[in-house]
C-alpha cells in the first residue's frame, strides 16, 4: 500500500473522496458480466480538472498506475484496475455551458449520457448519442470508448459528436480545447487521439459536443423480408431517397423475434405471417412540415413491388413506435433465457453485411450443428452483434467452453471481409489477444510509439488496448 | 547533390520519372502567390505505394528530406521544398474501387478532387468536398490539409469525409486501412493523425472516402439583411427548420458585392435596394418529392415578418442559381482589382461570427482609418475570410507593409473569441510563427512528441506546421 500517496490524496481531496475500504471499493473493482475482478489501492473522486491533474502527478511520483473510470458500464474490462488508483469521474458532472446557435455544449466528463441528452433537449436541441446504458454511462467514457449505438447511421459515433476535449495527460499536464469551432486547421488533430484510446493516453475531463436541431417528427416502421439480402436492398433504397432522414435501420432475424415474443411479456408479432428477416426503420426530421409517414409508405410500397419487402407496418402512435422498438431492445436480455450465448461485436462494409451473415453463419454451423444464430443490430452501419445461442438441450458450460473456437471462426470470416472484430465495444483487456492476431502489425507499432511518446512510464490505464 | 540517391531513384523509377532539370522543376518549387520559392534535388513521380515507400527509404538512407506534393495549390507553403526530394503524387491517380451500397470509394492520393467528384457522380453518389481549386488540387493534399470549402456546413471538412487511409510512414513502412468500415473500435485513431498533418507525419497515398446520396433537388437564394447579426439569426432559423437540407450559408458584405458588380462582367445586383449584409443560401435534398422551394419561401416569409430579412430572391433556374453563386465566387479574384488586400482565414463559434465582424472590424479601422472591410465566406461554419482592402488612394506597398500589424490586431481578437487563426488553409510555413504565438503550449508540446515518435530524424516535410 503506497501510504505516502494515499496521504497526499487524502490531504487534498479529503477522506470522503479517497476510498480505501475494500467493501466500499467493490463496485469499482468488479463488473456486471463477472469476467474481471480488479484491485486498487484507492478510489478517488475528483471534482475539478486540477484535482485530476493533482492525482495523476502524485501517482506518477509514487510510481503507481492510474485507471480512469466513468459509469463502469464497459463490456471489455477497460476500467478494471490492478494495483492502481482508480479515478472515478462521477463527481465532475456539471453541464458547463450550452450555445444553441453554435449547436454545442460543454460538459464535464462525469455527466451521465442521459443528463447530457436532457440538457440538450431542454435547449431545444438534440444530442444524438443513444445506447442501452445511457442512464448510468458517462460521456467521458462514451468518448474514451468512441461509443456507438442506434443513431450512428445518421449522426456518427461518439467521435463525430465531439468538437473538442479537455484531457489530463499521463504526465499530469492539462490539454484544453473547448472552443467549439467547426473549422480549425492549426496543427495535429489531438482530439481524435484521445477519443477511443480507452484512457490509455490520458483522462478526458470535459468535452465540447455537437448538437443538432431537435427532431419534430418521427416515423417508426417494422418490415418483414425474405432474407438479409432483401433487407439490405431496402436499406439502400431508403438511404438514397431519404438520406439523413433515415436515422435507424436495425436488423433482427426470425430467431431473435421468436425469443423476444416468447420471453418478453406484452410483446406481440406486429406482422401476420412469419418472415426470415426483419428490420426496424426509423425516420426523423426537424421539419415539422415534412410528411415523413407518407414518404415512407410510398417507398415501402415501391419495395413491396420490387419484392424486397413481404409485409410492413408503420407505427400510428408513440405507443406503437415504442412497442416496435421493444422488440429490438429486448434482444440482448431475452437471449440469456435461451441458455448460453456466445457474442461478437463485428462490423463489415455495409454492402457485405448480408453476405457476412450467410458465410459466418455457415462456418459456425459447421463448427457445431444445432446452434441457433442470432445476428442482430445496426445493419445500416455494417455492425452486427453476431450472437450464437447454444443448441437446445446442450450443456451450457460445454457450449460456453467453445467461446474461443467460435471467436476464431467468426473473426476469421470478419478478417476475410476486411471487417472489425470490435465495432462498438473497444478492446480493453478482453480483446487484446484478438487485436494482436488481427490488427496490422504496422498499426500496432505506431500505436506503441504514440503510447510510449505520451506515457513513457506506462502508468496510464496499463494493460488495456495495446497487446503485450 | 546526393548523387547516389538520385541514381538509386532513377534506377527504380526510370529517368523520366526523376526530374533534376531546374527548368522542369520550377513549377514544383514556386507557388502562385509568389510568397515562397523552394529548391529541390529532384522531383520524383511514383506510380505505386511501393515506389513511394522505396523513395522514402532511399532518402532516409541518404539523410535527405522529403516533401510530398499534391496539386500544389496550397496557400501556406506546405509543399515548398528546401534541399529535398519532392514526391509529386499526380501519377497515382487511379480510382481503385467504388462501393455504392457502402457509400464509399477508394482512390489514390493523386486523383484531382474534380475526378473524385465525377467518379462519385457517375455512380449516382455525391462526394461533397468542393472548393475553388478542385480542378487541380488532389485528394491527398485535401486530406493532408483537412480542406474545407462551401459544403462543410452539411458534410464536414475533409476529415469527416475519410473512413480510412493508406500512408507511407516517415520510416518507409506502409500503413493500410482502406476497409471502408463505419464502425471500428480496435485501437487508436491513426487516420485522423495524418489528416491535417500537412505531410509532416507521412505521405497519404490512398484513401477510402465517404459518399452520400446524390441530391435530386437544389434551391438557391440570395437575401439582403440589415446586419451580420440578422444574417446569423436567419442562419439559425433555417438550420433549425431544415437541418441538413441547408447545405450552404455564405456571407457577403455590401462592399464585397459592390466590387464584384463593378469588376465582373455580366453580374448584376439581384435585389432592388442595397443592404448592409447579404447571404447566399443553398438547400439540397436527394428526395425528389420534397418541395424545397416552397419550404424556403415559407421560412424567408417568416424571417421577413421577424424583420431578419429585408429582401430576398429565390433562383428560378439553374442559370439564375449560377448567377447568384458567381457573386460569391468572384469575391477573392475581384478584390485584387481594388488594390492591396490583407487576408485572414479565421473561425470563431458560429454564434459569435457577427459580433466578431463588429469587433475585429472596429479594431482594424482604429489601426488604419479608411480601410474597406471585406469579411466574407462560410458564416454557417463560423469561418470568415476576413479580408481588408486598402484605403482608396493609399500606396499599395505601404498598405501591404502593414500585413503583420493587421494580423496581430485580427488574430488577437480571434484569440479573445476562442477562435482559430487558420480555419481552412493550414499552417505550412506561413503561419508557424503565428501558431507559436497563439496555440496552447501543451498542445504544441504534444505535437512535438508525436512528430518525434514517428519521424525521429525529422526528414518528413521539415519546417512545416510545428514551430521551431
What DSSP string runs through B359-405?
HHHHHHHHHSTT-EEEEEEEGGGTEEEEEEEPPTTS-HHHHHTTHHH
CA distance B341 to A265: 72
CA distance A411 to A419: 9
From its phi and psi, is residue B299 left (phi > 0), alpha (psi between -120 and 50) or beta? alpha
**CATH class name, domain B3-88:** alpha beta
Residues of chain A contacting B235 with CB distance shorter than 8 Å: 101
pLDDT at A244 over 90: no
CA distance B462 to B468: 10
| Interface A-B: count of C-beta contacts within 8 A | 289
Q: Is A198 exposed, middle or buried (0-12, 13-18, 19+ CB in 10 A)?
A: buried
The alpha-carbon gap from A101 to the nearest alpha carbon of chain B, in Å, equals: 5
| Mean pLDDT, all residues of chain A | 96
What length is written for chain A? 468
**Crossing angle of helices B49-61 and B3-13, rounded to 10°:** 160
CB spacing of B243 vs A173 below 8 angstroms:
no
Give B311-368 pLDDT, tens digit per residue: 999 999 999 999 999 999 999 889 999 999 999 999 999 999 999 999 999 999 999 9
When CB atoms are compared, the residue of A183, A240, A422 closest to B383 is A183
Residues of chain A contacting B449 with CB distance shorter than 8 Å: 453-454
**CATH class name, domain A95-213:** alpha beta
CA distance B292 to B230: 22
Q: Which of A55, A56, A45, A64 lies closest to A110, judged by CA?
A: A45
CB spacing of A295 vs B285 below 8 angstroms:
no
Reported as a pLDDT band with limits 50, 70 and 90, residue A306 is: very high
Beta-bridge partners for B125: B213
Give B290-313 pLDDT, tens digit per residue: 899 999 999 999 999 999 999 999
CA distance B65 to B454: 14
CA distance B165 to B96: 13
Q: Who's near A220: CB < 8 A, 6+ residues apart?
A: A280, A281, A282, A314, A315, A320, A321, A324, A325
When CB atoms are compared, the residue of B145, B177, B453 closest to A452 is B453
Give B109-167 pLDDT, tens digit per residue: 999 999 999 999 999 999 999 999 999 999 999 999 999 988 999 999 999 999 999 99
CA distance A127 to A151: 10
Residues of chain A contacting B97 with CB distance shorter than 8 Å: none
pLDDT value of residue A254: 97
Backbone angles phi, psi at A186, to 5 degrees: -120, 65
CA distance B93 to B116: 10
Q: Which of A347, A407, A334 lies closest to A379, judged by CA?
A: A347
Q: Is B400 exposed, middle or buried (0-12, 13-18, 19+ CB in 10 A)?
A: middle
Which three three-digit cell numbers place residue B243?
437541418
CA distance B297 to B278: 17
- Give the chain A residue nearest B201 (alpha carbons): A188
Strand ranges inside B287-362, DSSP E: 311-314, 341-342, 345-347
pLDDT at B249 over 90: yes
CB spacing of B420 vs A160 below 8 angstroms:
no
The alpha-carbon gap from B80 to the nearest alpha carbon of chain A, in Å, equals: 17
Instruction: Identify the residue with better confidence: A290 or A9.
Output: A9
pLDDT value of residue B146: 98
Can A95-213 and A215-337 be said to share one CATH topology? no
CA distance A156 to B43: 40
- The strands making up A162-168's β-sheet, listed across from edge to edge, are A95-99, A104-108, A203-210, A162-168, A174-176
CA atoms within 13 A on the CB side of A292: 25
For chain A, what is the radius of gyration of the CA atoms? 23
CA distance B62 to B60: 5
CB spacing of B186 vs A421 below 8 angstroms:
yes
Could you tell me if B135 and B124 are in contact, meaning their C-beta atoms sit under 8 angstroms apart?
A: no
- Give the chain A residue nearest B290 (alpha carbons): A290
Which three three-digit cell numbers place residue A55?
492525482
DSSP for A246-304, written as a single string: EEEEEEEEHHHHHHHHHHSTT---SSSS--SEEEEEEEEES-TT--HHHHHHHHHHHHH
Could you tell me if A342 and A401 are in contact, meaning their C-beta atoms sit under 8 angstroms apart?
A: no
CB spacing of A193 vs B196 below 8 angstroms:
no
pLDDT value of residue A332: 85
CB spacing of B447 vs A382 below 8 angstroms:
no
When CB atoms are compared, the residue of B183, B382, B446 closest to A183 is B382
When CB atoms are compared, the residue of B201, B350, B438 closest to A182 is B350
Reported as a pLDDT band with limits 50, 70 and 90, residue B420 is: very high
CB spacing of A420 vs B183 below 8 angstroms:
yes
CB spacing of B241 vs A381 below 8 angstroms:
no
The alpha-carbon gap from B463 to the nearest alpha carbon of chain A, in Å, equals: 13
Share of chain B above pLDDT 90, in %: 95
Sign, Cα dihedral of A102, A242, B301, B280: positive
Asked: is A339-425 a CATH 3.40.50.2020 domain? The reply is no
Could you tell me if B308 and B234 are in contact, meaning their C-beta atoms sit under 8 angstroms apart?
A: yes
The alpha-carbon gap from B465 to the nearest alpha carbon of chain A, in Å, equals: 6
**Chosen from A144, A186, A299, A446 to mutate, greatest number of chain B CBs within 10 A:** A186
Q: Who's near A320: CB < 8 A, 6+ residues apart?
A: A220
Residues of chain A contacting B145 with CB distance shorter than 8 Å: 185
- Give the chain B residue nearest A444 (alpha carbons): B187
pLDDT value of residue B436: 97
CB spacing of B442 vs A175 below 8 angstroms:
yes
What stretch of H or E contains B218?
Answer: strand B217-225
pLDDT value of residue B243: 84
pLDDT value of residue A82: 95
CB spacing of A169 vs B442 below 8 angstroms:
yes
pLDDT value of residue A114: 98
Could you tell me if B36 and B382 are in contact, meaning their C-beta atoms sit under 8 angstroms apart?
A: no
CA-CA-CA-CA dihedral for B181, B184, B190, B196, to nearest 10? 50
- Give the chain B residue nearest A441 (alpha carbons): B175
CB spacing of A351 vs B102 below 8 angstroms:
yes
CB spacing of A160 vs B160 below 8 angstroms:
yes
When CB atoms are compared, the residue of A174, A175, A212 closest to B243 is A212
CB spacing of B181 vs A452 below 8 angstroms:
no
Helix locations, B175-270, DSSP H: 191-194, 228-242, 254-263
pLDDT value of residue A209: 98
Reported as a pLDDT band with limits 50, 70 and 90, residue A457 is: very high
- In chain B, where the domains are located: 3-88, 95-213, 215-337, 339-425
CB spacing of A192 vs B189 below 8 angstroms:
yes
For residues A106-132, give the mean pLDDT: 97
pLDDT value of residue A187: 97
CA distance A105 to A273: 47
pLDDT at A288 over 90: no
Residues of chain A contacting B159 with CB distance shorter than 8 Å: 189
Q: Is B379 exposed, middle or buried (0-12, 13-18, 19+ CB in 10 A)?
A: buried
pLDDT at B289 over 90: no
Reported as a pLDDT band with limits 50, 70 and 90, residue B34 is: confident
Share of chain A above pLDDT 90, in %: 95
A130: which DSSP letter? B
pLDDT value of residue A154: 94
Asked: is B215-337 a CATH 3.30.70.2190 domain? The reply is yes
* Whole-Å CA distances, A317 to A278, A320, A326, B376: 20, 5, 14, 46
Residues of chain B contacting A152 with CB distance shorter than 8 Å: 182-183
For cell 439582403, the residue is: B224
Residues of chain B contacting A420 with CB distance shorter than 8 Å: 179, 181, 183-186
pLDDT at A289 over 90: no
CA distance A412 to A434: 11
Beta-bridge partners for B126: B212
pLDDT value of residue A238: 96
Q: Which of B372, B76, B357 lies closest to B200, judged by CA?
A: B76
CA distance A203 to A175: 10
pLDDT at B418 over 90: yes
Beta-bridge partners for B162: B209
Give A54-73 pLDDT, tens digit per residue: 999 999 999 999 999 999 99
pLDDT value of residue A32: 79
Residues of chain B contacting A245 with CB distance shorter than 8 Å: 287
Could you tell me if A228 and A357 are in contact, meaning their C-beta atoms sit under 8 angstroms apart?
A: yes
CB spacing of A185 vs B435 below 8 angstroms:
no
Q: Which of A286, A214, A103 lies closest to B350, judged by CA?
A: A103
Q: In a 3-state reduction of DSSP, which class is residue B68? A: strand
ipTM for the predicted complex comes to 0.97
Helix locations, A41-173, DSSP H: 49-61, 113-122, 139-144, 152-155
Q: In a 3-state reduction of DSSP, which class is residue A308? A: coil
Strand ranges inside B265-334, DSSP E: 277-285, 311-314
CB spacing of A181 vs B420 below 8 angstroms:
yes
CB spacing of A383 vs B419 below 8 angstroms:
no
Give B50-89 pLDDT, tens digit per residue: 999 999 999 999 999 999 999 999 999 999 999 999 999 9
The alpha-carbon gap from A466 to the nearest alpha carbon of chain B, in Å, equals: 7
What stretch of H or E contains A442?
Answer: helix A441-454
Give B190-241 pLDDT, tens digit per residue: 999 999 999 999 999 999 999 999 999 999 999 999 999 999 999 999 999 8
Could you tell me if B189 and A159 are in contact, meaning their C-beta atoms sit under 8 angstroms apart?
A: yes
Q: Is A305 exposed, middle or buried (0-12, 13-18, 19+ CB in 10 A)?
A: exposed
CB spacing of A450 vs B453 below 8 angstroms:
yes
CB spacing of B175 vs A446 below 8 angstroms:
yes
Residues of chain B contacting A437 with CB distance shorter than 8 Å: none
Distance of CA B207 to the CA centre of its chain: 18
Residues of chain A contacting B445 with CB distance shorter than 8 Å: 173
Amino acid at each position: 500500500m503506497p501510504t505516502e500517496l494515499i496521504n497526499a490524496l487524502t490531504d487534498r481531496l479529503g477522506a470522503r473522496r479517497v476510498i480505501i475500504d475494500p467493501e466500499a471499493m467493490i463496485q469499482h473493482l468488479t463488473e456486471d458480466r463477472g469476467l474481471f475482478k480488479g484491485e486498487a489501492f484507492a478510489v478517488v473522486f475528483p471534482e475539478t480538472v486540477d484535482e485530476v491533474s493533482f492525482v495523476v502527478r502524485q501517482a506518477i511520483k509514487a510510481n503507481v498506475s492510474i485507471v480512469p473510470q466513468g459509469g463502469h458500464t464497459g463490456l471489455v474490462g477497460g476500467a478494471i484496475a490492478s494495483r492502481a488508483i482508480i479515478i472515478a469521474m462521477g463527481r465532475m458532472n456539471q453541464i458547463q455551458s450550452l450555445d444553441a446557435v453554435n449547436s454545442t455544449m460543454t460538459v464535464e466528463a462525469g455527466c451521465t449520457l442521459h443528463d447530457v441528452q436532457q440538457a440538450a433537449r431542454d435547449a431545444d436541441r438534440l444530442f444524438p448519442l443513444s445506447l442501452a446504458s445511457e442512464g448510468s454511462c458517462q460521456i467521458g467514457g462514451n468518448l474514451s470508448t468512441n461509443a456507438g449505438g442506434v443513431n450512428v447511421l445518421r449522426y456518427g459515433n461518439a467521435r463525430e459528436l465531439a468538437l473538442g476535449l479537455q484531457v489530463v495527460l499521463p504526465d499530469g499536464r492539462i490539454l484544453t480545447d473547448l472552443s467549439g469551432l467547426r473549422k480549425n486547421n492549426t496543427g495535429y488533430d489531438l482530439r481524435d487521439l484521445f477519443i477511443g484510446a480507452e484512457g490509455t493516453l490520458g483522462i478526458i475531463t470535459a468535452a465540447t459536443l455537437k448538437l443538432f436541431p431537435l427532431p419534430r417528427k418521427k416515423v417508426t416502421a417494422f418490415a418483414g423480408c425474405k432474407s438479409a439480402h432483401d433487407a439490405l436492398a431496402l436499406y439502400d433504397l431508403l438511404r438514397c431517397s431519404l438520406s439523413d432522414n433515415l436515422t435507424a435501420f436495425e436488423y433482427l432475424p426470425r430467431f431473435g423475434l421468436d425469443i423476444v415474443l416468447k420471453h418478453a411479456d406484452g410483446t406481440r408479432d406486429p406482422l401476420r405471417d412469419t418472415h426470415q428477416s426483419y428490420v426496424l426503420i426509423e425516420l426523423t426530421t426537424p421539419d415539422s412540415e415534412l410528411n415523413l409517414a407518407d414518404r415512407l409508405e410510398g417507398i415501402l410500397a415501391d419495395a413491396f413491388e420490387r419484392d424486397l419487402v413481404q409485409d410492413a407496418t408503420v407505427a400510428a402512435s408513440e405507443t406503437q413506435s415504442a412497442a416496435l422498438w421493444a422488440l429490438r431492445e429486448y434482444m440482448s436480455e431475452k437471449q440469456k433465457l435461451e441458455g448460453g450465448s456466445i457474442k461478437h461485436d463485428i462490423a463489415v462494409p455495409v454492402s457485405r453485411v448480408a453476405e457476412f451473415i450467410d458465410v459466418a453463419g455457415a462456418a459456425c454451423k459447421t463448427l457445431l450443428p444445432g446452434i441457433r444464430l442470432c445476428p442482430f443490430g445496426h445493419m445500416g452501419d455494417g455492425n452486427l452483434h453476431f450472437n450464437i445461442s447454444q443448441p437446445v438441450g446442450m450443456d451450457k458450460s460445454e457450449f460456453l467452453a467453445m467461446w474461443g473456437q467460435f471467436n476464431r471462426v467468426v473473426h476469421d470470416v470478419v478478417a476475410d471481409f476486411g471487417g472489425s472484430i470490435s465495432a462498438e465495444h473497444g478492446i480493453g483487456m478482453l480483446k487484446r489477444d484478438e487485436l494482436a492476431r488481427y490488427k496490422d502489425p504496422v498499426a500496432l507499432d505506431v500505436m506503441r510509439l504514440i503510447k510510449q511518446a505520451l506515457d513513457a512510464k506506462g502508468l496510464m490505464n496499463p494493460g488495456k488496448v495495446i497487446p503485450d
